[in-house]
Structure 1
């Protein structure tokens, strides 16, 4: 018996917020064998990038069976994060960025990567507001979402606002803080001898050091006034 042919579907998307962040909307078009379906949605408070992501996610989640899908988007943020493998790397690192902070929009990246595993998907970038018929239509649909009366809350963005400190880069200030490059606990090191530049008015009594990747961090608490500006401290 001949295997069932996998359908080919085109997915066109766009999203935005006015202002950014602000009222948001997305537009999605699905095409298959001359048949076309359009969708849009609106959110009370969100961002451009979240709406660009939501447009793709919504379209892929609407597909009921495994398909070969070509996604057309004008968002470099979405396309490069998938095509360059960044999103997969973020997931492998438990959604922690290099500088010890959570990846922005990780809730939507989780959804997108999950639905991508159900289909064979490739991404194409299209220039926005350049006369591309479907992209212009998706922009129109996204604006319908922005100005709709039944906008919903973007719980993922509200969660971000409530826990914004978790998404910000954390400073390396004390021994044991995680290295920004490899997340290894840092240790304190005291230099045996340190050269002093002419007119220098301070020095660092110690520094924090990563025993794994050898990164060094100068911290404010280690800064000391230089009383005798000779060539060496000792």
Structure 2
């Protein structure tokens, strides 16, 4: 029996910028794994993107098709509408944010066949809601780490 890897991600920031976190739920058939981490000072978009990156970094098998569900139109549009390709070509000219994370994502993305699907946040998608709980709990938790690439105002 063949299964496809399904990944749900969400990011959260209290204050934007402020304490933040990401949440990930990965499903392969009947198996489910969850990940989350909180950061001391970051933005919502960085945490949305960090969730996707950490999910990809956790995978040991490459060149597999996977679907990533996110409530971040920022991520879906940047990838599916190929905005990211333009940002990379112009070295993120014009103040495009999160260059460090986008480059990290782009390098990882070449090892997979990724399809992004936008889901409405805080709605009726149980896995997206679970990711939201993981992300906000991480943002509100103890043991917050530094978002090393975050430059306030950039």
Equivalenced residue count is 153
Return the offset for 1:7.
Answer: 6.2
2:100 matched residue in structure 1: 107
For residues 46 and 91 of structure 2, what CA distance do their matches in structure 1 show? 20
Return the offset for 1:14.
Answer: 0.4
* 1:97-144 CA-partner distances (Å, limit 9, x unpaired): 3xxxx4200000001111110100000000001121000000000012
Matched, 1:58 2:51: no
2:75 matched residue in structure 1: 78
1:170 matched residue in structure 2: none
2:31 matched residue in structure 1: 35
1:120 matched residue in structure 2: 113
Partner of residue 18 from structure 2, selected from 9, 12, 22: 22
1:8 matched residue in structure 2: 4
Q: 8 Å contact 1:7–1:68 — kept in the other structure?
A: no
1:91 matched residue in structure 2: 88
**TM-score between both structures, scaled by the size of structure 1:** 0.63
Question: Post-superposition, which runs of at least 4 consecutive aligned residues in structure 1 deviate over 4 A?
Answer: none
Rg larger for: 1
* 1:63-117 CA-partner distances (Å, limit 9, x unpaired): 11112110000000011000110111111112213xxxx4200000001111110
**More contact order relative to length (CA 8 Å, sep ≥ 6):** 2
2:141 matched residue in structure 1: 148
For residues 119 and 8 of structure 1, what CA distance do their matches in structure 2 show? 12
**TM-score between both structures, scaled by the size of structure 2:** 0.94
Q: 8 Å contact 1:43–1:146 — kept in the other structure?
A: yes
For residues 147 and 27 of structure 2, what CA distance do their matches in structure 1 show? 27
Root mean square deviation of aligned Cα: 1.6
* 1:137-172 CA-partner distances (Å, limit 9, x unpaired): 000000121112111011111xx23xx5xx5xxxxx
